[in-house]
């Protein structure tokens, strides 16, 4: 048993089809999913098919930008410091986010009987 929440617009369209076929919405959805899953031609490409398509796609010369500096030199230089960055404020905000995540995790644990 699974519960799937569908967008309202899709639910309306499915209900119209179900009414047209004089069957329940649940039965229509089961019939549609069964048909799709039993088709011999899988509608989703395999990972190998996706990789083959990527390899067969020619490169776009406009997206190729030759290097103008050494990557090693740039990494040694490091980023320019942001004069507007307030480390203390960032730490405060991050601590608040972590506290909220911890509270949510604790609430989930309690709701799911893990606490």
Please, what is the average pLDDT of the chain? 91
Position 62 in a domain: no
Position 58 in a domain: no
Q: Which helix (H) or strand (E) holds 70?
A: none
Sign, Cα dihedral of 51, 56, 59, 60: negative
pLDDT recorded at residue 37: 82
Task: Give the integer Cα–Cα distance in Å for 39 and 91.
Answer: 54
Position 98 in a domain: yes
Position 24 in a domain: yes
pLDDT recorded at residue 2: 83
Domain of residue 14 covers 8-44
Q: What is the pLDDT confidence band of residue 94, given thresholds at 50, 70 and 90?
A: very high
Position 75 in a domain: no
Give the count of domains, the chain.
2
């Amino acid at each position: 048993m699974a519960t799937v929440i569908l967008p309202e617009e899709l639910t309306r369209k499915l209900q119209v089809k179900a009414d047209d076929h004089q069957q329940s919405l649940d039965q229509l959805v089961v019939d549609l999913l069964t048909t799709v899953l039993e088709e011999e031609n899988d509608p989703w490409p395999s990972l190998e098919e996706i990789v083959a398509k990527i390899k067969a796609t020619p490169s776009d010369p406009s997206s190729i930008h030759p290097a103008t500096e050494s990557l090693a030199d740039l990494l040694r230089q490091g980023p320019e410091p942001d004069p507007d960055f307030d480390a203390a404020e960032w730490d405060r905000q991050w601590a608040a986010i972590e506290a909220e995540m911890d509270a949510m995790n604790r609430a989930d644990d309690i709701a799911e009987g893990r606490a």
